[in-house]
Amino acid sequence: MASAETGVAEWREGHSLPQSFYTSGMTFNADMEMLSTSQWLLVDHESRIAKPGDYFLFEFGAESVIVIRNRSGDVNAFFNVCRHRGSRICLENEGNKRVLTCPYHSWSYDLNGKLRGAHLMPSDFDPTNVALAPAHVRVFEGLIFLNFMKGTPPDFDAFCAPFGALLRGQGLASAKIAARKLYPTAANWKLVVENFFECYHCNSAHPTYCSVHDKMKMLAFGAGAGSGDDQDTILYQEKLKRWEEHSEGLGYPVGMFADNAESVYFRSGNRLPIADDAKTESLDGKPLAPLMTEFGVFDGGQTGCVFNPIGTVLVNNDHAVIFHFIPKSAHQTDVEAIWLVAPHAVEGQDYQPADLMRVWDVTLGEDKTITENNQLGVNSARYQPGRYSTQERRIAEFAKWYMEAVSARPQAL
Ligand code: FES
Ligand SMILES: [Fe+2]
């Protein structure tokens, strides 16, 4: 078994990671630190907290963060830690608060985190200097991002810049949440990521997903930009170009990019057609909800935006799906999907949540099983890192990106 310390030296490019990276608690803790300080974490859509006082908790490692809308309509984020003696303040996962009152000794804070009340404090105690510790929070296209850096966070505008053009006009900012579902997965977060960014397993694991998507596209870009075999990518170019010309004619943006392993981020973005004659990502290609875009017509495209390895959004013409993976321990990851529709869409009339969820609910259920089996095999004393195929190019790049990040840690794990 590889120890965490020897893991970096043991890893060979083009191969999956040495065992300890998928099993070690120490590596897991360092991963959480790396992700929460170097990345902007996608945590939810702001329609979840539409009204002043609406909040939800984002749990990440040892941290719990209160994400709350204040009276001016801004989204604030505070570490869920009382400034008196450190108790958790909000205990419910979501809700609405006029003030944030600690359950321990009733110190209370306003929606901007300022201390409002603390009884029986000594006369030299100055409440005006006391406030909840903020987390860095930003909103882009309705998506809420957090960063836990103690000092200056990464430049958010630069981080978002490549996504702006690809998401133009598709209604993501004004969308509303229609459904959400958690898929707790007994696997390390990196196995979840590796599974999500390759379509080498699609044929054997995902009959439903394969019936929905164009076969040539799945070989070329099954898991987004940079994920497919070179030859298949070339073969698909002509078809893609024809579709792009058609989409641009309708007013839609087109394009594709992917960060490489040398980038601090692991972003990628693309607009791709779902399948011939498909208007959206549904079993029969027919719309599942009213059009979300400003172009007045379907182009059947899907905008994929990967903000980091654990946060992605797929935007179809009539609905979008946020995917985020919340690492819970070295052997456990919460996969959550959040489905969004146009703000005026009426449940039961304009869309049925079960229909909206079907393709990804089936697919994520299948992914949970194969990823858990992957972890069980990786736990074995006989596990050895294996070679990635030409349809796993994006995760070969992810492994490289991750090892770059590990090597940059103060003490390489
Ligand atoms: S720990 Fe919160 S009021 Fe005492
Ligand atoms: Fe999958």
317: CATH: 3.90.380.10
What is the domain range of residue 46?
41-140
Q: 275: closest CA among 210, 359, 340?
A: 210
- Could you give the number of structural domains in the chain? 2
Is there an atom of ligand 1 within 6 Å of 84 CB? yes
Show which of 91, 106, 140 is a domain's final residue: 140
Q: What is the mean pLDDT of residues 309-325?
A: 98
How many Å apart are CA 409 and CA 412, to the nearest integer? 5
> Could you say which ligand is closest to the alpha carbon of residue 371?
2
Burial bucket for residue 122 (CB in 10 Å: 0-12, 13-18, 19+)? exposed
- Interatomic CA distance for residues 342 and 314, integer angstroms: 14
The last residue of one of the domains, among 107, 125, 140, is 140
- Least confident span in 17-31, 112-126, 139-153, 398-412: 398-412
Tell me the pLDDT tens digit for each residue of 327-369: 999 999 999 999 999 999 999 999 999 999 999 999 999 999 9
Q: Are residues 124 and 202 in the same domain?
A: no
Report the side by side order of strands in the sheet with 136-140: 41-45, 143-147, 136-140
104 and 198 belong to one structural domain: no
16-31 pLDDT, tens digit each: 999 999 999 999 999 9
85 and 49: one domain? yes
Of the pLDDT bands very low, low, confident and very high (cuts 50, 70, 90), residue 413 is very low
pLDDT in tens, 34-72: 999 999 999 999 999 999 999 999 999 999 999 999 999
Which residue, by CA, sits nearest to atom 3 of ligand 1?
Answer: 105
* Average pLDDT score, the chain: 96
DSSP per position, 244-302: HHHHHHHT----EEE--TTSSS--EEEEEE-STT-SSSSTTS--SS---STTSS---EE
Q: Is the ipTM of this complex over 0.90?
A: yes
Q: Are residues 291 and 351 in the same domain?
A: yes
Collapse the DSSP code of 222 into the 3-class scheme (helix H, G, I; strand E, B; otherwise coil) and give the result. Answer: coil
Pairing of strands 100-101, 108-109: antiparallel
Residues 28, 329 contacting (CB under 8 angstroms) = yes
Q: Would you say 227 and 393 are in contact if contact means Cβ atoms under 8 Å apart? A: yes
pLDDT exceeds 60 at position 303: yes
Which of 81, 90, 105 is the pocket-test mutation for ligand 1 (most atoms within 8 Å of CB)? Answer: 105
Interior angle at CA 377, CA 198 and CA 59, nearest 5 = 65
Query: Same domain, yes or no, for 324 and 251?
Result: yes
Ligand lying closest to the C-alpha of residue 88: 1
> With 80 as the cut, is the pLDDT of residue 411 above it?
no
Q: CA separation (Å) from 386 to 12, 15, 187, 406?
A: 10, 5, 18, 20
Q: In this structure, is residue 345 part of a structural domain?
A: yes
Q: What is the token pair recorded at 42?
A: 């996608």
